[in-house]
Structure 1
Amino acid sequence: MAVEDVRPSVDPAIASDPTTSGVARHRPPTAAPDVEDHSVGAALVALLDVASASTSDLASIVGAVGSILGARSARLLVADYSLNSLRYLANEIEDGHGVPPAMEGTLAGRAFSRGETLVSGDRVCVPVSENSERIGVLEMDHPAWEEVPEDLIDPVVRILTLILVSKRRYTDAMLRTRRTEELSLAAEMQWGLLPPLSCTTPKVSVSGILEPAYSIGGDSFDFAFNADMVEFGIIDAVGHGMSAVLISTVAINGLRNARREGRGLESAYADTGRAIASQFGDDAFVTGQIGSLDLPSGNLSWLNAGHPLPLLIRNGAYADELSCRPSIPMGLGGTVKEVAVEHLQAGDCVLFYTDGVTETRSADGDQFGVPRLVDFLVRAVNDGLAPVETLRSLSAAILAYSGTGLSDDATLVMIEYHGP
């Protein structure tokens, strides 16, 4: 695990962060682990014993991790829905909504965005992620972090991550913590529909994000890793709010059903279109792009149902838009005009996006536009940002460009091919 020690100075944003004052030390675990026993096996058994004692007491599990690693106290910070801030889980349990620390300019925020363990004085921040799905940050007060065995840290944090991923199916604690503002009912439904925001393997990285996070309507995306294939879709349902999210729910599940039944892209398009028409009539439709990436060959197959053409970044430069003859949106009774195939090279990045991205307007009325989008992508790739951080930064840039909030949903899906 990469560790950056920024001693002796303490991050001033952290030192003055009001959310760190009054944060309770972790509650003792049900059965306190032996902190003197640094064997990996004993540590993991102790942690699993604590985890099995409760479905919803996540703070005790985090506390057990801190004890195993020799920390004076430990807290879990969870990323909010928009990935712009981190929130203390303990505060959520005890006080409702705490003041969220900003993602930018804080030690925890830097650890989250960079995916690295950072140390400042006695403060230690360890990113908590699973296959690049970023959950949050384990923050500890630790007087002797450099003395903790490296072969103990990695497995303990990995097991903590797997426990949190498992437990969040049974408790609302983490979902409540993620909110910095009220989530609309439509957004609640849409977030429940989404896959993890990112996944990375040695061969490929896939990431997605959508805004406005707290009032999203008809935009959605999906992906799945199956054998040597990544299958994906990005959609935009007609309308706004609840009506749009109901249509997108049928669309995403229609695409999933076709994928899980082993049908191809053309069948997925047709079957999903029929499901939309049968449930909502002739006026409902969904634009989108669905595709698959064959990992051994690098062949990207995809069809376009009325979305902007995806962008290809190759060798650190903008290559071109990928071309595909458009089919009409799903739900209007059309047929597939073309399944395009693009051979990706190792290092290629492809960005799929909805029109809300480029049509976002500034206070002066200027659109964000494709040139600005391309410029951001090229700079992010050349700065070495991972796709998940590229999309987080890009989403924040789009929101900042608007200034007054988005008038339409903006969704991004990025695929980076690492090679066979």
Structure 2
Amino acid sequence: MNAADDPWPWRAAVADLLQRSRLAQPDELADEVAAAAAPLGLDVTIHLVDQEQRNLRPVPRAGVATPKPLAVEDSLAGRVFMTVEQAVEQDRLWLPLLDGTERLGVLEIVGDDRLADAGFLSGCDLFGQLVGHLIATKVPYGDALLKVRRARRMSEASELLWRLVPPLTFVSHRAVVSAILEPCYEVGGDGFDYASDDSTLYFAIFDTAGHEMRAGLGTAVVMSAIRAARRAGDDLEAMARAADRALEAYLPELRFTTAVLAQLDLEDGRLRYINAGHPFPLLLRAGRVVGALDAGRRMPLGLDDWHQPVGEAVLERGDRILLYTDGITEARGRDGAHFGADHLAELAERDAGRLPAPETLRRLCHAALSRYDGPPADDATLMLVEWSYDAVRAMLPSAGR
């Protein structure tokens, strides 16, 4: 049967791509994707978002001229990336390219009038989902896909930390976690972590004093110690003490790491947290900042503080927790004024509920970085945690209007 006459022509394309991808190197994946879609009369190009989430960069294909990057803020492809909504432009379909719910970029499919057919579009979406998963699985095996996402050389400390942190976005049936880490090519001591098992969501944010590799090593030690403790079944207090001991044992010359360690019960919304000398997270409810999580205070990690009260709060469905490092609030513009926690809260309220969590953070972080007169003076990290069923639905791709 000719592919064009098949009642569901994507079946052969999906099977073909699965077979082709088995032995494909990362640098060969774009060619295999295009080859699997070619029998349908379609031309497919992968565009990956760059590390700083400002441009969509095409993955090169053999014998095909590589198009120029597309600006996230100023293109139809960028709008698809930001809103996670597909869009059709004459004979061209733009699909959000996701690994689950982690935004990787967009998929460009050039075809014919079949792109106006809802059934055919559903096949395009399934094919796009497979491409997203394949990209995620191929990245660890080579450098080609990573290099596409980079506009310049990455520092040694950034290489270390980007290999340690989990994906920027996690979505389950009951919660959304999203984070952003800047400056992405020269990050020093900032980091974040999360894990969700059974009815508990663990999340944390870190900021080690200092810059470059020494700070990065401190954060790596802290994250490793806390993960080991968490996976052994330890509570928050024991996790913090494990980090204290690890810094003292392996990097005694480093001063400290500030952090927030938290556990959220996804059944009843009960939150327990420790704040180790870190800026207070903001609590957003119904789109408004209603306060800061300012309890559970102890000394920064590494200073061996045995006085460790644990803060507690009870969330309501739809509540958001915004965590940040001081590189966000201390961004200073030409006028000498700081970006500030009040301005951060104002922008968070403006975008609350209007945009998916990853896009909210991307805009917040870029707004803070735009304040710097020159290169950022410090790392800037944001993390947004939402306990909500509605937020989960907003993270799933949908057809554009």
Name the TM-score, length of structure 1 as normaliser: 0.87
Q: 2:167 aligned with 1:196, yes or no?
A: yes
What amino acid sits opposite 1:317 in the alignment?
A: R
Whether the 8 Å contact between 2:165 and 2:191 is mirrored in structure 1 is yes
Unaligned runs of 5+ in 2: 391-401
Whether the 8 Å contact between 2:323 and 2:383 is mirrored in structure 1 is yes
CA-CA distance at 1:233 after TM superposition: 1.2
Cα distance change, pair 152–269 in 1 and its aligned pair in 2 (3 A): same
Aligned equivalent of 1:265, options 216, 225, 236: 236
Q: Which residue of 2 aligns with 1:212?
A: 183
What amino acid sits opposite 1:293 in the alignment?
A: L
Alpha-carbon distance in structure 2 between the residues aligned to 1:243 and 1:95: 43
State, as a whole percentage, how many aligned pairs show the same letter.
Answer: 35
> Aligned to 2:201, what secondary structure does the other structure show?
strand
Q: 2:77 aligned with 1:108, yes or no?
A: yes
Alpha-carbon distance in structure 2 between the residues aligned to 1:143 and 1:39: 14
Q: Which residue of 2 aligns with 1:180?
A: 151
**Aligned-residue RMSD, C-alpha:** 2.2
Aligned equivalent of 2:93, options 124, 145, 156: 124
Whether the 8 Å contact between 1:399 and 1:406 is mirrored in structure 2 is yes
Whether the 8 Å contact between 1:100 and 1:180 is mirrored in structure 2 is no
CA-CA distance at 1:53 after TM superposition: 3.5
CA-CA distance at 1:323 after TM superposition: 2.0
Whether the 8 Å contact between 1:126 and 1:137 is mirrored in structure 2 is yes
What amino acid sits opposite 2:309 in the alignment?
A: E
What amino acid sits opposite 2:384 in the alignment?
A: M
Q: Which residue of 1 aligns with 2:384?
A: 414
Alpha-carbon distance in structure 1 between the residues aligned to 2:57 and 2:50: 7
CA-CA distance at 1:155 after TM superposition: 2.3
Cα distance change, pair 35–336 in 1 and its aligned pair in 2 (3 A): farther
Alpha-carbon distance in structure 2 between the residues aligned to 1:94 and 1:210: 35
Q: Which residue of 1 aligns with 2:261?
A: 290
Q: Deviation above 6 Å: which 4+ runs of structure 1?
A: 93-98
Q: Which residue of 2 aligns with 1:79?
A: 49
Cα distance change, pair 338–131 in 1 and its aligned pair in 2 (3 A): farther
Aligned equivalent of 1:388, options 358, 363, 370: 358
CA-CA distance at 1:282 after TM superposition: 5.4
Alpha-carbon distance in structure 2 between the residues aligned to 1:343 and 1:94: 58
Cα distance change, pair 214–283 in 1 and its aligned pair in 2 (3 A): closer
Q: Which stretch shifts more, 389-398 or 161-170? A: 161-170
Cα distance change, pair 136–398 in 1 and its aligned pair in 2 (3 A): same
What amino acid sits opposite 1:43 in the alignment?
A: A
Whether the 8 Å contact between 1:247 and 1:284 is mirrored in structure 2 is no
What are the Cα deviations for residues 1-58 of structure 1, in whole angstroms up to 9, with x where unaligned?
A: xxxxxxxxxxxxxxxxxxxxxxxxxxxxxxxx95654355433222211111413311
Cα distance change, pair 356–94 in 1 and its aligned pair in 2 (3 A): farther
Q: Which stretch shifts more, 162-171 or 232-241? A: 162-171
Q: Which residue of 1 aligns with 2:220?
A: 249
Q: 2:309 aligned with 1:338, yes or no?
A: yes
Q: Which residue of 1 aligns with 2:393?
A: none
Cα distance change, pair 252–68 in 1 and its aligned pair in 2 (3 A): farther
Aligned equivalent of 1:141, options 104, 110, 126: 110
Whether the 8 Å contact between 1:112 and 1:137 is mirrored in structure 2 is yes
Alpha-carbon distance in structure 2 between the residues aligned to 1:228 and 1:332: 32
Q: Which residue of 2 aligns with 1:43?
A: 13
